[in-house]
Homo-oligomer: A and B are copies of this chain.
Amino acid sequence: MRPDTNHTVGIVDDHSLFARSLEKLINSFPQFKVIFHAKNGLHLQEKIEASDVLPEIILLDINMPVMDGFETAEWLSLNHPDIKVLALSMEDDEQTILKMLRRGVKGYLLKDIHPEILNTALQELNEKGYYHSEKVSETLLHSLTPDEEGRILDFKENELTFIKLACSELTYKEIAVMMDLSPKTIDGYRQDLFKRLKIKNRVGLVIFALKKNLIHL
């Protein structure tokens, strides 16, 4: 751990006025310093690939043209998994939050930001590696309880991989090979999921997975 000063922050936000005031706010915190702006995901990629000094934290707006927050978060988690992403967004609906969390985002803030909250969030991101507001924790909890149709959405790791693979043109046999399991085991997963999720066939599974953001197109 290094001294608690001069942690670097990047901002990706479409609304330039808002972004600028954010920057001022952040720079007023002694430990943090904004090192760059980007107005969308593409712009961010360029900036990151150009410079060699990377920010430790990135504030990421979800609503952006060109390359939105979801795509950007995905790219960051793949290419720079060590950068902690704090998502900013107007929407506080469960789906959106889950979508971002699944893409490896480390924190989530609604956009009407109080200085103290932002400060707390940045602090916790640094110290604990994540920040969860009550709203987010609530969502996490909620996602583990039955959905509107009374289905349990708590999947085991293997089930989740199966679902993802089933949402492709792969055959069940091929899925079995990929997961290094017997085709019969795969069939077990399938049958169990169909029953639990009350779906009739593989198309149903694909649709379910998409609706619940278990997979992305």
Question: Interface on A for B, CB 8 Å cutoff?
Answer: 14, 63, 65-66, 89-91, 93, 166-169, 171, 199-204, 206-207, 210-211, 217
Contacts and interface: CB of A to CB of B under 8 A. Distances in A.
26 contacts: A14-B90, A63-B63, A63-B65, A65-B89, A65-B91, A66-B91, A66-B93, A166-B203, A167-B203, A167-B207, A168-B203, A168-B207, A169-B200, A169-B201, A169-B203, A169-B204, A169-B207, A171-B201, A202-B202, A202-B203, A203-B206, A206-B206, A206-B207, A210-B210, A210-B217, A211-B217
A14 B66 CA distance: 18
Nearest to A205: B203
Contacts of A204: 169
A202 B91 CA distance: 34
Report copies per complex. 2
Which secondary structure dominates chain A's binding surface? loop
A25 to B, nearest CB: 20
A199 B203 CA distance: 15
Contacts of A206: 203, 206-207
A56 to B, nearest CB: 29
Contact of A169 (B89, B90, B93, B199): B199
A40 to B, nearest CB: 9
A168 to B, nearest CB: 7
B202 A207 contact: no
Contacts of A210: 210, 217
A141 B65 CA distance: 23
Nearest to A91: B65
A50 to B, nearest CB: 24
Contacts of A90: 14, 65
Contacts of A65: 63, 89-91
Contacts of A217: 207, 210-211
A213 B202 CA distance: 20
Contacts of A14: 90
A211 B216 CA distance: 10
